Amino acid sequence: MFASQRLDGDKPEQYAQLTAQAQALLAGEHDRIANAANLSALVFHALPDLNWVGFYFFDGTELVVGPFQGQPACVRIPLDKGVCGAAARSRRTQRIDDVHAFPGHIACDAASRSELVVPLFDGDTLIGVFDLDSPLTARFDVDDQTGLEAVARIWLESLR
């Protein structure tokens, strides 16, 4: 049985612990929905000051909500809209300190103030995005970005 553990130390140490927990949680399972659901729950409960953590999957046309933790979400996001669309289009993580200053931001949860979105690619194929929202402005820093990109890679590796 998996048991999450409290994260200790500075942010890099906490993310090292979180990635170890994520690897243990996803070990031996290859179903993308099951792993996305468990990873969303793990991250949502492990990290402070988050109001939404989850996945959007690319259906060939747009991003469609997948497993998540938080308030109900926008179901479909066009690739030319919002922070999630920007991450998918640019193939780069988007770390937004103030979502209200982001052109085209989609306000799925009015409480969100900052956002971090990691694009999920298998080679050149867009799988989707891993999306985190916070009710705090500037919640995410470079340590969060590095740590959450590592967590996202663990999910991608679990698909193989």
Integer Cα distance of 111 and 91 in angstroms = 26
Percent of the chain topping pLDDT 90: 91
Q: Which amino acid is at 44?
A: F
Q: What are phi and psi of 78, to 5 degrees?
A: -65, 150
Judge whether 27 and 155 are in contact, CB under 8 Å: no
Q: How many CB atoms lie within 10 A of CB 5?
A: 10
Q: What is the per-residue pLDDT for 1?
A: 65
Q: Kindly report, residue by residue over 70-83, the tens digit of the pLDDT.
A: 999 999 999 999 99
The structure tokens listed for 95 are: 């770390």
Report phi then psi at 121, rounded to 5: -120, 145
Residue 51 pLDDT grade (very low, low, confident, very high; cuts 50, 70, 90):
very high
> Per-residue confidence at 6, pLDDT binned at 50, 70, 90?
confident
Beta carbons of 139 and 113 less than 8 angstroms apart: yes
The mean pLDDT of 30-34, rounded to a whole number, is 98
| 37-64 mean pLDDT | 98
Task: Let me know: does 14 contact 8? Beta carbons within 8 Å.
Answer: yes
Q: C-alpha distances in angstroms, 47 versus 11, 30, 42, 61, 66?
A: 10, 24, 9, 32, 20
pLDDT at 4: 73
Express each pLDDT in 89-138 by its tens digit. Answer: 999 999 999 999 998 888 777 889 999 999 999 999 999 999 999 999 99
* Full-model pTM: 0.96
d(Cα 17, Cα 21) in Å, to the nearest integer? Answer: 6
